[in-house]
Amino acid sequence: MDTCDNRTRTFYIETFGCQMNVHDSEKVAGLLLAQGYDAAASSEEADLVVLNTCAIRDKAEQKVFSRLGHFKADALAGKKTVAVLGCMAQLEGEKIFAQAPYVHLVAGSASYRKLPSLLVQLETGNQRVTGLEYDDQAFETEFTRRNNPFRAYLTIIEGCDKACAYCVVPFTRGPERSRTNASILAEARRLVAEGYTEIQLLGQNVNSYRDPSPHRMSFAELLAAVAEIPGLRRVRFTTSHPRDFTREIVDAIDSHPTLCNHVHLPVQSGSNQVLARMAREYTREEYLEKIALIRSARRAISLTTDIIVGFPGETEADFEETLTLLDTTQYDGMFSFTYSPRPNTPALRLDDQVPEEEKRRRIIALQAWQREIQLARNQKLVGKQFELLVEGENRKRGQYTGRTTNNRVVNFASAEEKLGSYVPIRVTGAGPHSLVGERLAMSVASQRSPGTERGE
């Protein structure tokens, strides 16, 4: 896009929150490039600054307002256009203008495709514009500019039809909309042709996938179909809802080595009383049945989860049930949060708020408990061999980082590795959050068989 001084306008995107947002930012970057913008190296240099926001916790919103303050002077002086996109934009809408009157554009995560027309409205004299409607066409991603050269995110379902009492997502991302299997498979094949070897299927609840085409492909069938694309070495998927998790998904992982043997299955609490107040739609016992399904697989599937502590009404006994669930389930990783009240959510109406100090005490205890479990599980892997996708490097130190198919991070020393390559290692040490390994010589087997894992 040429301005009146004939200079190409530039943009810079800052992303807050989850992988869905990271991928949305890739789509927005692609859209802006297609509109003739150039990417700027920093927010200081950019004509258009886009904050792609998260609303899952109050703290995330405060961070965005504090970041917006950095651009206030330039925005008021007419040197910068400031746009707020994403979940917080959808949730707060025009209220953002009240708190940060120098913001020019507010658009929710379901309307980012309207960005070019919203920018035109600004250029033609509008002071402030909004895009807050849900867009059923949100999936066409032909312009996406991906940041990672070997792992690609691919959205299969947007939105959420559940109604967990603490969660803003149904308000910010709208109802569930699944892509057709044909559109997903075509994009996956395109990605492989471009050189990607790992695809991560994304959705708020990937396993609630409902193919809108006459074929009605199930999520497990879709996983298998993606995994069978020649040239693809790893397929991941996140996040799964326990209620919709089926044996067919486990069977697909068992029969397709390309499907990574890792499942992220958020439990949120180990107490039935809390799960009911959260409206999670399963009991502890039903959740454990899903875990038993996963543990019955032929491949060793690693398990991670999300937990919220201090949900309204959570007693000490409820909290202890969460600790015993960790013992029973033996997760390989956990994301934990203290409950944070969010606008519009049913949990706001619940009494018995847990004091902040008590929430902090519980989360510290929970993390210490899980840390021990992870350390013990990781120590059992010392001496085992894995295939790693090399993802990061510290050349000065001769250190590289890779990930196993079951999502464990391994650090290893090597003179020279190519990022994005697959290498065999043997585990030589273990901490609670990562492993240390030694690089093995490339075997014929590891070159041939994607996803090979002889570790567990």
Task: Kindly write down the DSSP assignment for every residue of 224-235, as one continuous string.
Answer: HHHHTSTT--EE
Residue from 162, 190, 361, 371 binding ligand SF4 (CB under 6 A): 162
Binding status of residue 205 toward ligand SF4 by CB under 6 A: yes
Residue range at the interface with ligand SF4 (CB under 6 A); choices 104-112, 167-175, 284-292, 389-397: 167-175
**Residue 38 or 306 having the CB closest to ligand SF4:** 306
Binding status of residue 145 toward ligand SF4 by CB under 6 A: no
Can you tell me whether residue 309 is helix, strand or coil? strand
Q: Which letter does DSSP use for residue 74 in this model? A: H
Binding status of residue 170 toward ligand SF4 by CB under 6 A: yes
State the nearest-atom distance from the C-beta of 160 to ligand SF4, in Å: 3
Please classify residue 217 by burial: count the beta carbons closer than 10 Å to its beta carbon, then call 0-12 exposed, 13-18 middle and 19+ buried. buried
Please classify residue 438 by burial: count the beta carbons closer than 10 Å to its beta carbon, then call 0-12 exposed, 13-18 middle and 19+ buried. middle
User: Is the C-alpha dihedral spanning 433, 436, 202, 294 positive or negative?
Assistant: negative
Residue from 113, 179, 241, 377 binding ligand SF4 (CB under 6 A): 241
State the nearest-atom distance from the C-beta of 17 to ligand SF4, in Å: 12
**Residue 170 or 257 having the CB closest to ligand SF4:** 170
**Residue 162 or 371 having the CB closest to ligand SF4:** 162
Binding status of residue 164 toward ligand SF4 by CB under 6 A: yes
Phi then psi for 404, rounded to 5 degrees?
A: -80, 170
User: Is the C-alpha dihedral spanning 91, 97, 102, 107 positive or negative?
Assistant: positive
State the nearest-atom distance from the C-beta of 239 to ligand SF4, in Å: 7
Binding status of residue 204 toward ligand SF4 by CB under 6 A: yes
Task: Kindly write down the DSSP assignment for every residue of 99-110, as one continuous string.
Answer: H-TT--EEE-TT
Structure tokens at 45: 């240099």
Structure tokens at 266: 């958020």
CB 359 within 8 A of CB 308: no
Residue from 167, 217, 267, 366 binding ligand SF4 (CB under 6 A): 167
State the nearest-atom distance from the C-beta of 241 to ligand SF4, in Å: 5
Per rule CB under 6 A, count of chain residues that contact ligand SF4: 10
State the nearest-atom distance from the C-beta of 354 to ligand SF4, in Å: 19
**Residue 84 or 167 having the CB closest to ligand SF4:** 167
Using CA atoms, how far apart are residues 436 and 428, in angstroms rounded to an integer?
Answer: 6
CB 57 within 8 A of CB 87: no
- Which residues would be at the binding site for ligand SF4 (CB under 6 A)? 160, 162-164, 167, 169-170, 204-205, 241
